[in-house]
Amino acid sequence: AKTPVRVAVTGAAGQIAYSLLFRIANGDLLGKDTPVILQLLDLPQALNAVNGVVMEIDDCAFPLLAGVVITDDPEVAFKDADIAILVGARPRSKGMERADLLAANAAIFKVQGAALNKAASRDVKVLVVGNPANTNAYIAMKSAPDLPAKNFTAMLRLDHNRALSQLAAKAGVAVSSLEKLAVWGNHSPTMYADYRATTANGESIKAKINDEAWNRDTFLPTVGKRGAAIIEARGLSSAASAANAAIDHVRDWVLGTNGGWVSMGVPSDGSYGVPEGIIFGVPATCENGEYTVVKGIELDEFSKERFKITLDELLSEAEGVADLLK
Ligand code: NAI
């Protein structure tokens, strides 16, 4: 039998976790032959709720579930973790300034980065979902100097999947036929979903759609503001689709993409003019548990403009937390 994989999830009492944990325990993350141990972190006042979720997990009698840890101590949650999905974050409350939001989250991700540094497997794969996801991942990475920087990633996959769905509907093709989509930059409305290289059954989607006004005025705003549209309609933020994207991100990173492109927020190696270390959404392929950024994509004038907007936003977030990292 395989040794169980230790999967830490933070924000375990929250709504994304409620869609995520059951799927991990069911084998959707790592395959139906890999047992998992869930290591769940939340704040002290939320542990009772985590207990309730775990009662339900127990009641599913998942064959692959080899254990559950419940804790409010990040070092316990991350002990020997092979995978850490950091969902818990401080939401923006009414009247809260962006700087305060950044600072509140910086404090959380500094502690969690240090705990990962101390306790996790040296190969731990970290996915930050909690917003501002890219900058939170950046802070965790900077707070974990003994772990390879490349282990820290942020979730752009929900934007990627949202874009795939919009493109498939517009072009009248199956979503499963789409290849080579790239989502660049920050997980925020400034992200740039770039379908210039995208194909369906080998045919160019850009040529098939052939509508630059739709790209600029409909597609990009729809994908960028999708989170807000869901809050408006549902009264709650995206949760099941966010959990699904987290599963896609980690599963592909671990099990590979067979040459296919996925979008991941990863620490820049300096390519595409993004300063080293900034966690930037890029197209990547995954193989043998490692991701490789797709290189050599030319940026046209429009793409350069969009690229700059999202990069500038990330640079200003990094600047906003610089003092807290000293
Ligand atoms: P939620 O409010 O339902 O749950 C958050 C949970 O995190 C709560 O149980 C809370 O107690 C916990 N938490 C807060 N601080 C914590 C800490 N320091 N350590 C451990 N746990 C902590 O929120 P929901 O809907 O589950 O969303 C979680 C985060 O994911 C939010 O920041 C949201 O903005 C973000 N998100 C990101 C997406 C992406 O594409 N990257 C998509 C959708 C949501």
pLDDT of residue 98: 79
Dmax over CA atoms of the chain, in Å, equals 55
pLDDT of residue 12: 98
pTM over 0.90: yes
Q: How confident is the model over 172-200, as a mean pLDDT?
A: 97
Query: Is residue 160 among the annotated active site residues?
Result: no
What is d(CA 158, CA 118) in angstroms, rounded to the nearest whole number? 30
pLDDT of residue 99: 82
In this model, does residue 1 exceed pLDDT 80?
A: no
Q: Which one of the listed residues 6, 79, 110, 187 is annotated catalytic?
A: 187
C-beta of residue 84 within 8 angstroms of C-beta of residue 6:
no
pLDDT of residue 210: 97
ipTM above 0.85, yes or no: yes
* Amino acid at site 11: G
C-alpha distance from residue 260 to each of 177, 179, 204, 209, 291 (Å): 11, 7, 16, 22, 11
Q: How remote is the CA of residue 131 from the centroid of ligand 1, in Å? A: 8
Q: How confident is the model over 101-130, as a mean pLDDT?
A: 96
C-beta of residue 291 within 8 angstroms of C-beta of residue 251:
no
Q: How confident is the model over 210-238, as a mean pLDDT?
A: 96
Written as six digits, the tokens of 121 are: 């497997």
Q: Please, which pLDDT band fits residue 65 given cuts at 50, 70 and 90? A: very high
Q: Please, which pLDDT band fits residue 104 given cuts at 50, 70 and 90? A: very high
Specify the ligand 1 atom closest to the Cα of 50: 9
- What's the whole-number average pLDDT of the chain? 97
pLDDT above 90: percentage of residues in the chain = 94
C-beta of residue 36 within 8 angstroms of C-beta of residue 30:
yes
C-beta of residue 71 within 8 angstroms of C-beta of residue 78:
no
In this model, does residue 171 exceed pLDDT 80?
A: yes
pLDDT of residue 169: 98
In this model, does residue 11 exceed pLDDT 80?
A: yes
Binding-site residues, ligand 1, Cβ < 6 A: 10-11, 13-17, 41-43, 46, 87-91, 108, 129-131, 133, 155, 158, 187, 237-239, 242
Written as six digits, the tokens of 104 are: 């509140």
pLDDT of residue 125: 99
Considering only residues 84 and 95, tell me which one the structure prediction assigns the higher pLDDT.
Answer: 84
Q: Whose CA is nearest to atom 40 of ligand 1?
A: 158
Q: What does the angle CA 17 – CA 262 – CA 16 come to, to the nearest 5 degrees? A: 10
In this model, does residue 166 exceed pLDDT 90?
A: yes
Q: What does the angle CA 68 – CA 137 – CA 323 come to, to the nearest 5 degrees? A: 125
Question: Secondary structure of the chain: what % helix, strand, coil (to 5)?
Answer: 50, 20, 35
What is d(CA 32, CA 37) in angstroms, rounded to the nearest whole number? 14
pLDDT per residue over 237-294, tens digit each?
999 999 999 999 999 999 999 999 999 999 999 999 999 999 999 999 999 999 999 9
